Amino acid sequence: MTSTTRSLAAVNEPDTVRRLIDEFRAEHPDSAAAAPAPASDHGHDYDLVVRARQVMTTAGIAEREIGVRDGKIVAIEPFGHALDGAETIALADDEVLLPGLVDTHVHVNDPGRTDWEGFTTATKAAAAGGVTTILDMPLNSVPSTVTGAALELKQLVAAPQAFIDVGFWGGAVPGNEQYLRELHDAGVFGFKCFLLHSGVDEFPHLEPDELETYLKTLQTFDALMIVHAEDSRAIDRAPKPDGDVYAHFLASRPRGAENLAIAEVIERTRWTGARTHVLHLSSSDALPMLRSAKADGLDITVETCPHYLTLLSEEIPNGATAYKCCPPIREVGNRELLWEGLLDGTIDYIASDHSPATLSLKDLQNGDFGVAWGGIASVQLALSVIWTEARRRGVGLDKVVEWMASKPADRVRLRSKGRIALGYDADLAIFAPDQAFVVDAKTLHHRNPLTPYQGKALSGVVRKTYVRGTAVDFESPRGRLIRRGID
């Protein structure tokens, strides 16, 4: 811990960010917000009625009619009730009405690195994949979301581009402890930190002792800390990943680095009484200690990602940097244990960790795993990827929805999302679980057409997505910015 790491990067200084806000406002004088939702038609009982033989209710799949008014689910009745709506849709027999998914781990990179991704492309991709709420990660955009000013800039940039609802994480970096409270009060859903280099220099990591200091602060206002848990020293001492051989890259990110860092998170959680969450669990070795931490009553949760649950290191071709992410995709035995952890509840939920970059940053020409950016863009495919694998294992669609909608919503205290239930937002996805398709990166909405799922045959197509009762039309962005405790 050196004193030089205690101040914010120049691009994150509030004065610098305030100038960007002023510039943005001058360039976009009328960019107040997204298009308003169509007004309610009060000649009918409901703005929208959805009739379906298969509705994923909180008690499983049932025949239902759903009545929506002012963007909320206000009626759930038996099929045949003939609810009266200004607009009525009837699902086909092969379609299931799902609650819109909640993806709590998305890197939008806007403003600052919009050649990697942006709010327009990311939220369209999400909507096409049945995701109706994303929480944006605080890094890779410039500035990072580490002060209230940076959050304000992010919100200005995101509002006119959001096709679905968007919330924000704050960042916890050396030198921003004084800004945590203002970010919390402005409605971030919690704070993200790294325990090793984040990949971008303006978002430095915390040492374990600093993590503990920050947890003590967050504990005073009951905020959640989400952690990229790989140990800095362990990664520094691992073999270097240079070259196009995937096995070398895997060896450069050993399970031990994750195990060490997760042990630190667990014990600092125990010592401070804070609320914590382990991001993108890859190492199944960590499951027993997470299980025991939960049994001890610690307020710690865990997510994993579609790629760890479906892809195998043994099958990754050399030079295929589309598969590079950190922590890495591991062996078949590891994957099987992650599924066990998911099914027994040690792993709480699934998030995409949608983390796009430009094609040149993925070093496609040389396929050097040491050089390529680590990140997989999958917000649009996550549901189909997980459903295809779940079905193969005899796991029901209700579990998939729990892992990708209700549980993440609950953890981040989104009280009106993630379920088809009375009083909840009418965020809905019409899903055809038996329809198959072959992944073609060129047809995906995210900005740079690269995916490790290219050419894969998947089950499950999202045919239409509704955000607060309005169909996403991919032309008029009608999503809203959401804040913790309010939405």
Shortest distance (Å) from residue 281 CB to Zn ion: 12
Nearer of residues 67 and 327 to Zn ion, judged by Cβ: 327
Buried-exposed string 48-69: b where 16+ CB fall within 10 A, e elsewhere: bbbbbbbbbbeeebeebbbbbb
Angle between helices 148-158 and 14-27 (to 10 degrees): 20
Nearer of residues 376 and 386 to Zn ion, judged by Cβ: 376
DSSP label of 351: -
Alpha-carbon gap, residue 97 to 463, rounded angstroms: 10
Does 353 participate in binding Zn ion (rule CB under 5 A)?
A: yes
Does 425 participate in binding Zn ion (rule CB under 5 A)?
A: no
Nearer of residues 408 and 460 to Zn ion, judged by Cβ: 408
Selected range binding Zn ion among 14-22, 95-103, 304-312, 353-361, rule: CB under 5 A: 353-361
Nearer of residues 353 and 363 to Zn ion, judged by Cβ: 353
Q: What counts of helices (H) and strands (E) characterise the chain?
A: 14, 17
Selected range binding Zn ion among 54-62, 325-333, 350-358, 440-448, rule: CB under 5 A: 350-358
Question: What torsion, rounded to 10 degrees, do the Cα atoms 22, 24, 28, 29 define?
Answer: -10
**Which residue from 219, 346, 329 is spatially nearest to 278, judged by alpha carbons?**
346
Selected range binding Zn ion among 42-50, 51-59, 349-357, 396-404, rule: CB under 5 A: 349-357
Q: How many CB atoms lie within 10 A of CB 36?
A: 9
If binding means CB under 5 A, how many residues of this protein chain bind Zn ion?
Answer: 1
How many residues in the chain? 487
Name the residue whose CB lies closest to Zn ion: 353
Shortest distance (Å) from residue 98 CB to Zn ion: 24
Tokens of 317: 């071709």
Shortest distance (Å) from residue 137 CB to Zn ion: 5
Shortest distance (Å) from residue 139 CB to Zn ion: 8
Selected range binding Zn ion among 16-24, 138-146, 337-345, 348-356, rule: CB under 5 A: 348-356
Shortest distance (Å) from residue 370 CB to Zn ion: 20
Residue 454 backbone zone (phi > 0: left; psi -120 to 50: alpha; other: beta): beta
DSSP label of 255: H
- The DSSP string of 415-482 is TTSSS-STTSB--EEEEEEEEEEE--GGGS-SSS---TTTT-EEEEEEEEEEETTEE--SSS----B-
Nearer of residues 244 and 353 to Zn ion, judged by Cβ: 353
Does 103 participate in binding Zn ion (rule CB under 5 A)?
A: no
Shortest distance (Å) from residue 326 CB to Zn ion: 9
Which 434-473 positions form the footprint of Zn ion (CB under 5 A)? none
Nearer of residues 200 and 432 to Zn ion, judged by Cβ: 200
Shortest distance (Å) from residue 55 CB to Zn ion: 32
Shortest distance (Å) from residue 372 CB to Zn ion: 16
Nearer of residues 205 and 468 to Zn ion, judged by Cβ: 205
Alpha-carbon gap, residue 240 to 74, rounded angstroms: 56
Nearer of residues 154 and 419 to Zn ion, judged by Cβ: 154
Alpha-helical regions (H) of 296-331: 306-310
Binding region for Zn ion (CB under 5 A): 353
